[in-house]
Structure 1
């Protein structure tokens, strides 16, 4: 496992599309950067999804971002 310093919870955009998960617009777009500071991808992240997470009885709601166009 590698912790690259990701500051957001991420979800695969194809999964969001395939499962028709509702999205919401971010107030401010996020520019995704690689560990060396260069810009990753061709576009900013502009949407997120709300996710319910349950692990061993611990429940939490997360906002997960994805490059959804």
Structure 2
């Protein structure tokens, strides 16, 4: 396995990392360049519901809803996750399909 250098931005005030990547939807093959937040404490791969809708991503129904809890144990204000988006994520020319859970990340 080879790991190439990738520009990672660090915000020491928020203690967060972000990484530039591209998102391609399964349906349109339209490529969107964006930045992703790397959350090392997250229990999965997520995309904000408003961002997904703005980009016109096709949202699919999950077989069973998933209850979402915040890091402090409280329920997320958006309730349960009922949808996912299948997208291709690209970093430095390497691309892979992912299933991202759609929820409110704001």
Task: State the TM-score bracket (shorter-chain normalisation).
Answer: 0.7 to 0.9
- The number of aligned residues is 68
Gaps of 5+ in 1: none
- TM-score of the two chains, using structure 2 as the length reference: 0.55
Query: What is the TM-score of this pair, normalised by structure 1?
Result: 0.79
RMSD: 2.0
Which residue of the partner structure matches residue 86 of structure 2? 50
Change (3 A) 1:4 1:41: farther
Larger % of strand: which?
2
| Pairing 1:12–2:48 present | yes
**Highest Rg: 1 or 2?**
2
Moved over 3 A (4+): none
Unpaired runs of 5+ residues, structure 2, are 1-15, 18-38
Task: Kindly indicate whether structure 1 or structure 2 has the higher relative contact order, using CA contacts under 8 Å at least 6 residues apart.
Answer: 1
